[in-house]
Amino acid sequence: LKTFGKYATSLSLICFSFPMLSIRENLREKDRLKDYLEKHPYNLAYKFLESGDPDLGIHYEPMRNYLDLAYVGTISIGTPPQEFKVIFDTGSTDLWVPSIYCSSPACANHNVFNPLLSSTFRISGRPIHLQYGSGRMSGFLAYDTVRFGGLVDESQGFGLSLREPGKFMEYAVFDGILGLGYPSLGLRGTIPVFDNLWRQGLISEELFAFYLSKKEEEGSVVMFGGVDHSYYSGELNWVPVSRPFYWQLSMDSISMNGVVIACDSGCEAIIDTGTSLLIGPSDIVFNIQKIINANQSYSGEYIIDCDAVNTLPDIVFTINGINYPVPASAYIREGHQGICYSNFDEGAGGSFLSDSWILGDVFLRLYFTVFDRGNSTIGLAPAV
């Protein structure tokens, strides 16, 4: 599903960022995904990262990489715990999961929360409506204990779905979403998960970081309260957050072979773990597709010659004076049946983010990323 941007009001959240490529991509990969999961049901990272490192004050939550389409971690809610697979999404702020009261087909295919089984559950009675670019969730606000990565977050506000219309969640490999954006992006009057971790003194530093693996390589992880230097090489380059709403920064330019091909006068970019691709303004992305000789298919996706991986140059994103190359092997993906696709996609026309870029998992697989709320900065370094 395409990723466009998010807007929050007191009772609604328009979340155009969604952590999947598309329904058609998900369906196309369905058989391959099934085979993959049968062969690789667990990653070794799950065996040694579950409770974090008390010496470093870092709490690790492993994530499974679903064919580079989505990175999914496991949380539990309630007492005793009920488990859910969630996207840890820096492009939204709220936490929600399906409930037993949900009547949509999507909920029949996913884990659902049963309030009657939790002794620590509290209901608020407040309705919530989360509107996505390709669907929506309607439900209500509740409070309960949330656990992940060895952390125990008490009295956490979260959404429980009553309806999830449309197909976008029905085929998802996750149950819900745990947002890690700024509070200003979330539902008013609620405290997001990360802010509660900090307020309750559960983490020693007011930051978290992501390492996203490539395909079947070493397991992906989100870490809270500290930075594990073994996941990146060199030094972290720190970039100020330009607007504390999204994890947004100012980008200098986008170039190829030393020639600027986009963002020539500077532009804004959002670092979003809940977005699979590199999203930009439609006219500029269309021009990039022409430059790399990607042609639009009948389904709307851009197809490219697989051999181009060996000949096309890096596309360089320059941020705060530092170059971040994205090689052809990253901006071209090989799908099922040996067909290759461009990892660039267009934003929505008319969106208030239509002139901005969203740097999703394609970028984040290459660069270990630290989200420092205490200093409102983003740290970037080559991932190992």
* Closest C-alpha among 222, 296, 209, 181 to residue 73: 222
Residues 199 and 252 in one domain: no
For residue 14, pLDDT over 50 is answered with no
Residues 170 and 249 in one domain: no
What pLDDT shows up at residue 157?
97
For residue 21, pLDDT over 70 is answered with no
Q: Strand pairing partners for 378?
A: 239, 371
For residue 153, give both structure tokens.
């977050």
Average pLDDT over residues 234-246: 96
Residues 77 and 216 in one domain: yes
Residues 181 and 139 in one domain: yes
Residue 229 covered by a domain: no
Which has more pLDDT, 68 or 344?
344
What DSSP line would sit under 92-153, residue for residue?
A: ---EEEEBTT--SHHHHTS--B-GGG-TT-EEEEEEEEEEETTEEEEEEEEEEEEEETTEEE
Whole-number average pLDDT of the chain:
86
Average pLDDT over residues 27-32: 56
Residue 267 covered by a domain: yes
Residues with Cβ within 8 Å of 21's Cβ and at least 6 positions away in sequence, in order, are 1, 69, 276, 277
pLDDT band, very low/low/confident/very high, at 1 (cuts 50, 70, 90) = very low
Residues 276 and 220 in one domain: no
For residue 249, pLDDT over 50 is answered with yes
Residues 55 and 19 in one domain: yes
**Domain interval for residue 130:** 11-224
Using a cut of 0.85, tell me whether the model's pTM lies above it. Answer: yes
Residue 195 covered by a domain: yes
Residues 212 and 242 in one domain: no
Q: Of 224, 255, 290, which one is at a domain's C-terminal end?
A: 224
For residue 72, pLDDT over 90 is answered with yes
Q: Of 224, 245, 273, which one is at a domain's C-terminal end?
A: 224
* CA dihedral over 166, 168, 169, 172, signed as positive or negative: positive
Q: Give the pairing type, strands 95-98 and 151-163.
A: parallel
Whichever domain contains 80, its CATH number is 2.40.70.10
Give percent of the chain with pLDDT exceeding 70: 82
For residue 17, pLDDT over 80 is answered with no
From 43-47, 119-123, 239-243, 256-260, the region with the lowest mean pLDDT: 43-47
Rounded Cα gap, residues 82 and 321, in angstroms: 46
For residue 7, pLDDT over 60 is answered with no
Q: Tokens 């620590």 label which residue?
A: 120
Burial class of residue 327 in the structure, from the number of CB atoms within 10 Å of its CB (0-12 exposed, 13-18 middle, 19+ buried): middle
Q: What is the pLDDT of residues 115-136, one digit of tens each?
A: 999 999 999 989 998 875 555 7
Residues 150 and 270 in one domain: no
Q: What is the dihedral of CA 64, 214, 171, 296, to 10 degrees?
A: 170
pLDDT band, very low/low/confident/very high, at 2 (cuts 50, 70, 90) = very low
What pLDDT shows up at residue 277?
93
What pLDDT shows up at residue 30?
56
For residue 188, give both structure tokens.
């008013």
Residues 249 and 378 in one domain: yes
Residue 231 covered by a domain: no
For residue 293, give both structure tokens.
């000789």
What pLDDT shows up at residue 18?
42
DSSP secondary structure letter of residue 281: -
Residues 220 and 241 in one domain: no
Which has more pLDDT, 216 or 166?
166
Which has more pLDDT, 347 or 294?
294
Residue 339 covered by a domain: yes
Which one from 68, 272, 361, 372 is the annotated catalytic residue?
272
Residue 74 covered by a domain: yes
From 71-75, 135-139, 368-372, the region with the lowest mean pLDDT: 135-139
Residues 105 and 241 in one domain: no
Rounded Cα gap, residues 368 and 352, in angstroms: 28
Q: Give the pairing type, strands 70-77 and 82-89.
A: antiparallel
pLDDT band, very low/low/confident/very high, at 39 (cuts 50, 70, 90) = very low
Residue 6 covered by a domain: no
Q: How far is CA 224 from CA 172, 209, 211, in A?
A: 25, 7, 12
Residue 272 among the catalytic residues = yes
What pLDDT shows up at residue 217?
54
For residue 43, pLDDT over 50 is answered with no
For residue 379, pLDDT over 80 is answered with yes
Q: Are 260 and 316 in contact (CB under 8 A)?
A: no
For residue 15, pLDDT over 60 is answered with no
Cis bond upstream, residue 81 (ω within 30): no
Residues 196 and 305 in one domain: no
Which has more pLDDT, 303 or 49?
303
Rounded Cα gap, residues 332 and 305, in angstroms: 9
Q: What is the pLDDT of residues 181-234, one digit of tens each?
A: 999 999 989 999 999 999 999 999 999 999 999 876 558 999 999 999 999 999
Tally the domains of the chain: 2
Q: Give the pairing type, strands 176-179 and 82-89.
A: parallel
Q: Of 224, 245, 278, which one is at a domain's C-terminal end?
A: 224
Highest mean pLDDT among 36-45, 51-60, 130-139, 288-297: 288-297
Residue 35 among the catalytic residues = no
The helix or strand, by DSSP H or E, that contains position 246, with its residue range, turns out to be none
From 63-77, 212-226, 323-337, the region with the lowest mean pLDDT: 212-226
Highest mean pLDDT among 53-57, 95-99, 217-221: 95-99
What pLDDT shows up at residue 24?
47
For residue 299, give both structure tokens.
């389904």
3-state secondary structure 321-378: CEEEEECHHHHEEECHHHCEEECEEECCCCCCCCCCEEECHHHHCCEEEEEECCCCEE
Residue 72 covered by a domain: yes
pLDDT band, very low/low/confident/very high, at 33 (cuts 50, 70, 90) = low
Q: Tokens 């008319």 label which residue?
A: 350
Dihedrals phi, psi of 313, to nearest 5 degrees: -80, 170
